[in-house]
Structure 1
Amino acid sequence: MLKSGFGPKALLSFACLMAPLSALAQDATSSSPATNEVIGLRANLSPADVRGPLNYEPTKGPLESFFPDCSVDKQMASELSEAFGEALISFDPENKEVRFGVAYKGLSGNAIMAHFHDGAPGVNGPVLQTICGHPPPTSAIGVSATAVMGDKCPVGNHGVLSGTWQLTDHDCPEGSDKSCISRTVDEQVQLLACGNLYVNIHTCLNQPGEVAGQITPVNWIGKEQNCNALPPKSSQ
């Protein structure tokens, strides 16, 4: 089950969302997994953290046939991205809910997709949960069946992505290539606890990703999890 974000007004204000989420993350630093209270996580997004390219190219038709605005964006976009961002995340271990706010600025064009990826620091990995947008049909990557914020990302090169991701067992769709990994809810909790998830925002100019950031626990470092049980995938 997926729940949409904090409301349309929050999406218009970088500062208005960052302030309450920062407070939420700070409050979470004093909680413990044993208390079933909120656990705080965060990620700093930058072009430097974008991983090696996955295969996002469709096998039927050019990218513009799936993202019509890309034919315009590619001409208008700056080749040098000055994008940056921050993600503040809370996790409710009792209800298995991930509440997130991802604020970004300075993209080369509109965000066309954003995802939570399954991957250790410095390792590129498949999509675990879509935040907004969907890869073109037949793209050879793991993809979630639904998107938290819908099929399209907010228009503009800056904004806020927000919502609640209800963890459920993730099964690779039929036809996915070997890069896809099925994950149980417990395995996804382990990925969060051990810092093996990252956020990635894709644009027309930088389809594999323009800014990305590894999600790091603020107050929960996986002490109660076996972090060696999920070895990082090899780079592709």
Structure 2
Amino acid sequence: MIPTCRPHVRCIAAMMFTLLASSAAFADTIALKANLQPSSEVPPRVSKGHGMLDATFDTDTKVITWTATYAKLSGPVTMAHFHGPAPVGQNAKPQVPADKHALASPMKGRATLTEQQVTDLMAGQWYFNIHTQENPTGEIRGQVMPSN
């Protein structure tokens, strides 16, 4: 005897396949933030500067998109970067630079990350650093962490 499927079973199976296929097409978007303070620099800085980084990371495309706002720095921003891998209290090399022609607040950018960069970012091993002429190694900095 050859088993046969009833029409409603095939319909349910088709709906489940469609549901699973469509949910796989949606990537997770992870919200990230960093509180940018002179006290987070290594070594700490004396500055009235402060700021905030808000970012999202798309796990499917590996694209990070960010907006950094800041105020009361010692002078114009000369550069800004994501640095890593480094825990709080340690320094590391730049990983992703901000566009040097778009450093005014709000500073916006996006970049596609490598697998290793994704691993380090998701492990909390990245920080965002804003540099000025008076503070060439960084005036304000914050560890990049999930915002929830």
TM over 0.5: yes
> 1:200-219 residue pairs with structure 2 within 5 A?
200-219=129-148
Gaps of 5+ in 1: 1-34, 54-78, 132-148, 168-184, 220-236
1:113·1:153 contact (CA, 8 Å) conserved in 2?
Answer: no
Residue 130 in 1 paired to residue 79 in 2? no
| SS state at 1:162 partner | strand
Shift of 1:128: 0.7
* Alignment RMSD: 2.1
The aligned counterpart of 1:187 is 116
Shift of 1:120: 1.5
The aligned counterpart of 1:61 is none
1:41·1:89 contact (CA, 8 Å) conserved in 2?
Answer: yes
Shift of 1:153: 4.8
Name the aligned partner's letter for residue 88 of structure 1: D
* Structure with a larger share of its residues in strand: 2
Of structures 1 and 2, the larger Rg is shown by 2
Aligned residues: 123
Gaps of 5+ in 2: 1-25
The aligned counterpart of 2:27 is 36
Residue 112 in 1 paired to residue 78 in 2? yes
Where in structure 1 do 4 or more consecutive aligned residues deviate above 4 Å? none
| SS state at 2:106 partner | strand
Structure 2 distance, partners of 1:47, 1:214, is 12
Structure 2 distance, partners of 1:205, 1:153, is 19
| SS state at 2:74 partner | coil
The aligned counterpart of 1:98 is 64
Residue 86 in 1 paired to residue 21 in 2? no
Post-superposition Cα deviations, 1:106-125, rounded to whole Å, max 9, x if no partner, equal: 10000001011012211101
Structure 2 distance, partners of 1:120, 1:80, is 21
Post-superposition Cα deviations, 1:120-143, rounded to whole Å, max 9, x if no partner, equal: 211101111111xxxxxxxxxxxx
